[in-house]
Each structure stands twice: as structure tokens, then as C-alpha cells.
Amino acid sequence: MEYNAFVSVKKEAPSYFESIREYVSMPKKLVFGPDSVKQVSKETKRFGNRTLVVTDEGVKKAGLVSKVLEVLLADGVEFYVFDGVKMEPDIENARVVAKVSREGGYDVVIGVGGGSCLDMAKVAAVMATNEGDVEEYFGDELLKQPGLPLILIPTTSGSGSEATKGSVISVGNLKKVIFSRWMIAEVAIVDPMMTLTMPPRLTAITGIDALTHAVESILSKRSNLISSMFARESIRLISEGLEVAYKNGRDVNARYRMAIAATLAGVSFANSSVILGHGISYALSTLFHIPHGLGCGVALPYVMEYNMQECAEELKDVAASFGLNVGGLEATEAAKMAVRAVVDLMRKIGFPISLREMGIPKDAVLELTNILMSNYQRLLLNNPREVSYDDVRTIFARMWEGELESLREANSPNRSTA
Ligand SMILES: [Fe+2]
């Protein structure tokens, strides 16, 4: 079939025709660049005047909410600020957000903050117009009608939530997600100046979350030509920007690269999906409250290695996006270089590469496996290589030891240096 020439994904499923999508979903408008937050009134007024600003205390204390409010105030936009979003919000927090939104009679919702704030802004937008409890809408496209217009302003460069249709909410120890096309932002304002105050650790954790989105979306069974294009560019920007942003948070060029990279990775996985690494991160978060990006990052090199037999060509693309010269190399060799590039970047920004380094007890491997297999199977569905219970247990065991084939070969004294 002649069309096969255009397919970069050579995994079993989907076929080219199955992967044809009706649309690529992304925010209707992206406003970006240093000080682009000054456009917020202009964008808000398109939808009305009564505005609900959803954020958290940390973002407020960092002076980032006032950057938005000053602009709204100067332009006569009415606003109410809800700053009660919790880190990795739970269902009770989401219910409070829904109540605030329903009672306020707002025209538009603005989310300001990291992934948690943006996810709760999405909840505020859709629950204003949809009846019932938040819990009824976990799953895919269960909302009954469109929500309020949504403007999302990220202050971390990681979650990509400004570009996706998902809202992650904890129920007990489990992570559940509402997916809805009505949670896609009307406008995402991606302003690197909003990220300058992020401390190094948060820069590292959120930046590696974005990298995980990009790499996993390239590997996903549902990757397609457009999603992979966004992901490759995201990886390129992260390879240029993350270490610099970690070492000097005030470097606007590095912050700019990271801000755009996170949004591009968000577009990528919104149109393809994340895979095994996010399942691992959720399991780590469920059992040990490991921050999301930390769990994703520590999983990433292992997820790349696990999928290498199915996705060497895609991983070669990852290596090329890191700026490595892979021309003429056999795909598997280039794929191992991609793993080493990820590990190298992680080390430069103080990231652990094993569960042992993170203080996770060795005997937790079994329980982590059980949690992943019983609660987060949905993240394995799009993994290019099938994942069994035993596979997951082996991956966790290797993660605990810090056992990576690609590194072992690189460190081997017999390895040719030519
Ligand atoms: Fe993530």
C-alpha cells in the first residue's frame, strides 16, 4: 500500500488507516513569548467580564497571580480568585472548585499555575455547566455539555496541561482522569517570565515530566506523524534548555525553550497518549507519594529500554532530537545512545536513576507491581511492547537496582571507543 511510505510508526497497531484521526486537538489559540501574560485581558474580554481565577497559595506567594491580576485590573476585568487548589488535588478539592465555579455565575475561567492548578481550572470550567458530582465524569467524554471558556497560564514547564483535555484527580490513593474535549483551552498563554522563580528541584522534576511526555508519546502505539513532530521538537528544546534552566533559573532563553517544550509535549501526548512510564509514576505516587515528574523521570530510561525491541527506529529519532549524530548507525545502537542521553541529562540536573537512590525499600517491588497492574492498566494499553505482570515486576526490580543495559555496555571495558 503506497501510503505506508508515510508511516513512521511501524508497530503492530494501529495501521495507517486506523491512525487517521478526525482532528489534532490543541488549544484553539496559543499566545506565547516573554511577557505574553500581558495579553490576558484582551483574551478574556472575548468571552465576557466575570472571571474566575483558579490557582494555589504557592503560585500566589511567588507573585505570579498578581502579574495576571494587575493586567485584569488595569483593563477593568472583574475577577474572583480561588487560591485553594491542593498539590496533586483530590476529589474533595475538585468538589470545592466545582461549587465555587457554579455559585459565581462566571463568564470565563483562568487557570494560573502548575498542572494541578490548570487541571482544577478545567474542572471549574466544565462543572459550572454540568450537573452532578465530579466523580460521575471520570473516563472518556462523559460530560454532557461544553463548559465555560478556559484560559490556561502555566507557571511550570512540565505538565503540558495547558495543551491537553485531561484533568487528573486523586481518589483515595488512586489517580483518576476526566478526559473531555470541552476541557481544551480556548487560549493557552505560555510566558517564560512566569517560570523564572521556579527553584532548581522543581525545574528538574517538571522538565523531566515534559521529556517523558515527549518520549512516551513518540513510542506510544497511538503516535502519529503530527504528534511525533511536536514531540521531537520538544525533545530538542529540552536538550538545549533544561540543564541551563536548572543551573540558572533567570536565563530567559532557557526558560523560553522549556516553556514551549512543555506545551509541545502536551500537544503530542494529548494526540497519542503516554505509556508505561506514567503507569509506573502513578504506582510510585500511590504507594510513596513520589511527585509525578520524579516518578516519570526515574522510569523513563527503563521504559525506553523495555520498548527498544519494538521501537528502535523511534528511539533513534529521540537520539537525533537530542542532537546526537546517528547518521549511518544501526537503529538499536542509536536507541541505546538515546537512553544514555536521557540518563546523562538526568544526572546533570541531580535526578536519581534508581529507586534505591530514592529510598524506596527493595521489598516494595511486588506491591508496586500489584498497584500498577490492578489500577493503571489503561496506561499499558498503548505501550508498544506488551506488558505482563512479570514484565512489570522485572522492570521495577531493575529500576530498584539501577540496572540499565545501555549503560552497562557503555561502561564495559571491552566496548570499542571508535
Ligand atoms: Fe506527566
Mean pLDDT of 248-273: 97
379 CA from centroid of ligand 1 (Å): 12
Sort strands 174-179 and 166-171 into parallel, antiparallel or unpaired. Answer: antiparallel
% of the chain residues with pLDDT over 70: 92
**Residue ranges making up the domain that contains 121:** 33-195
CA pair distance 147, 126, nearest whole angstrom? 4
For residue 347, the domain's CATH number is 1.20.1090.10
CA 103, CA 106: separation in Å to the nearest integer? 8
Across 197-214, average pLDDT: 97
Q: Within this chain, do residues 222 and 310 fall inside the same structural domain, yes or no?
A: yes
Q: Residue 140: beta bridge partners?
A: 179
Among the candidates 151, 176, 195, a domain finishes at 195
C-alpha–C-alpha distance, residues 250 and 135, integer Å: 40
Measured in Å, residue 414 CA sits from the centre of ligand 1 at: 38
Alpha-helical (H) ranges within 15-63 are: 40-45, 57-61
CB contact at 8 A, 171 and 182? no
CA-based nearest residue to 89, from 167, 182, 188? 167
Residue type, 60: K
If you measure from the C-alpha of residue 115 to the centroid of ligand 1, how many angstroms do you get, rounded to a whole number? 9
> Would the pLDDT of 26 be above 70?
yes
Q: Is there a domain that residue 1 lies in?
A: no
- The CATH number that applies at residue 189 is 3.40.50.1970
The domain tally of the chain equals 2
Integer Cα distance of 208 and 65 in angstroms: 25
Task: Please tell me the predicted confidence (pLDDT) of residue 266.
Answer: 97
Q: Are residues 156 and 213 in the same domain?
A: no
287, 308: one domain: yes
* 267 and 394 belong to one structural domain: yes
In a domain, 369, yes or no: yes
Same domain assignment for residues 129 and 244: no
Shared-domain flag, residues 204 and 321? yes
Measured CA to CA, the distance from residue 178 to residue 183 in angstroms comes to 9
The last residue of a domain, from among 156, 172, 195:
195
Q: What's the CA-to-centroid distance between 212 and ligand 1, angstroms?
A: 7
* Residue 208 grid cell: 523531566
Choose one of 130, 163, 195: the last residue of a domain.
195
CA of 274 to the centre of ligand 1 (A): 8
- 86 belongs to a structural domain: yes
Domain membership of residue 28 (yes or no) is no
Q: C-alpha cell of 336?
A: 541505546
- Shared domain for 95 and 231, answered yes or no, is no
Any domain includes 341: yes
CA distance 126 to 322: 38
Q: Does 378 lie in the same domain as 269?
A: yes
Residues 41 and 159 occupy one common structural domain: yes
Please check whether residue 26 lies inside any domain of the structure.
no
Same domain (yes/no): 130, 177: yes
Average of per-residue pLDDT values in the chain = 93
Digit-coded pLDDT (tens) for 359-384: 999 999 999 999 999 999 889 999 99
pLDDT value at 7 more than 90: no
220: exposed, middle or buried (C-beta count within 10 Å: 0-12, 13-18, 19+)?
Answer: buried
144-172: burial string, b at 16+ Cβ within 10 Å, e else: eeebbbbbbbbbbbbbbbbbbbbbbbbee
> Based on the domain organization, do 265 and 145 belong to the same domain?
no
304 lies in some domain:
yes
Question: Ligand 1: distance of its center to the CA of 102 in Å?
Answer: 29
CA pair distance 351, 289, nearest whole angstrom: 17
In this prediction, residues 167-171 reach a mean pLDDT of: 95
Q: For 219-249, how does the pLDDT look when each residue is reduced to its tens digit (9 = 90+)?
A: 999 999 999 999 999 999 999 999 999 999 9
Cell of 171: 481518589
Same-domain check for residues 205 and 182: no
Q: How far is the CA of 48 from the centre of ligand 1 (A)?
A: 32
> In angstroms, what is the C-alpha Rg of the chain?
21
- Tell me what the mean pLDDT of segment 87-101 comes to: 96
